[in-house]
Structure 1
């Protein structure tokens, strides 16, 4: 699970990269767990629209809130976790640390399906580390 020390280590990674990281993690999750992704297509469209400034942060926050409401009212644990993942993913747009909350919910969903959570976590960290290296390379180039 992503804990405070790990999150703090990666705090300089851009919001845009964290959005990309979570989107790819969600797509992989749908494939690995053989989950329907029709609802995510809407979320993905909103993420794209936000990066192009087509929708406002207020609109995104409303959508994220609706997803969290669905999570609270859902009886099925898979759907509850999916709604949490989607809500946290949209929330990255206004607070980038939500990426790590989404990643933790992804890990919980893998665990629910009796998958190797450690392997999934290691893959997520490996991808983050690549972004971290790129981030610091760019900072070195600036200095």
Structure 2
């Protein structure tokens, strides 16, 4: 099956941008609801692989993270194959102290479920700070 490479996929991109909106609003239940239980999460800031079920189990606990003042997802490149989507984009994190600003390269794999698109793999890599 040929992917719809680089074509707009509003439903898929909406899930990705919703992750960042929920994060900024500190809405953990909404945030973790966008990931499947068996989702894998790879982040530059965390050397171990995390899983969706771990994130959901700790949904009520506050996380100790530096909160940016703004997150901006840019330059999306989206491929869709039936019930699977691949999203590549950059994420710009702006902090109150501009010396802490970060740019990340992000890859997300999504699966179409009965309740909509959900993230099954999320990988963030720090480009520079």
> Normalising by the residue count of structure 2, what TM-score does the alignment of the two structures yield?
0.26
> Normalising by the residue count of structure 1, what TM-score does the alignment of the two structures yield?
0.25
Where is the strand percentage greater, Structure 1 or Structure 2? 2
Instruction: Give the structure with higher Rg (CA).
Output: 1
Where is the helix percentage greater, Structure 1 or Structure 2? 1
